[in-house]
Amino acid sequence: MVLKSLKKKRRIQIVAICAVALVLSTGLIGYAMRDGINLFRSPSQVMAEPPPPNEVFRIGGLVEEGTLLRGQGQEIRFSVTDGGASVPVTFAGVLPDLFEENQGMVGTGSYVNGTFQATEILAKHDETYMPKEVIDALKEQGVYQEDASTGS
């Protein structure tokens, strides 16, 4: 009888230690990933609920026609739109080769004083590709036209 009680007690201790280890490891993984997770927002979402300046996120849409301005050095200014709202963007760096007006883009950065300050800009890779998040945001605004040849 004492032996069964001792085995049962040991089993409960092992299960409790495993549960604590699991909770601790999950917490450490979440803590390590806190800076690696970038939420996606459309320009309409950014304008409706502007994020705090210290939050890094991704924004995507179409580069608004007539807004692409190249400043001194490598500074570029343009606006990104989803058809419902436009957000001004600044970027200091070299743009991808396929970056141009009326084309899809996704930028990573933060929204400071009414301007999205991008640290990275991605452009579509070919004539038919556009990131899923950008397509969803454009469809939500009623701007996206599906291409019959690609079915996307």
Mean pLDDT along residues 78-97: 88
pLDDT of residue 4: 74
Q: Provide the β-strand partners of residue 78.
A: 89
In this prediction the pTM is 0.62
**8 or 33, which is more confident?**
8
CA distance 37 to 88: 23
Burial of 90 (0-12, 13-18, 19+ CB in 10 A): middle
Q: What is the pLDDT of residues 42-68, one digit of tens each?
A: 898 899 988 888 888 899 888 888 888
DSSP state of 50: P
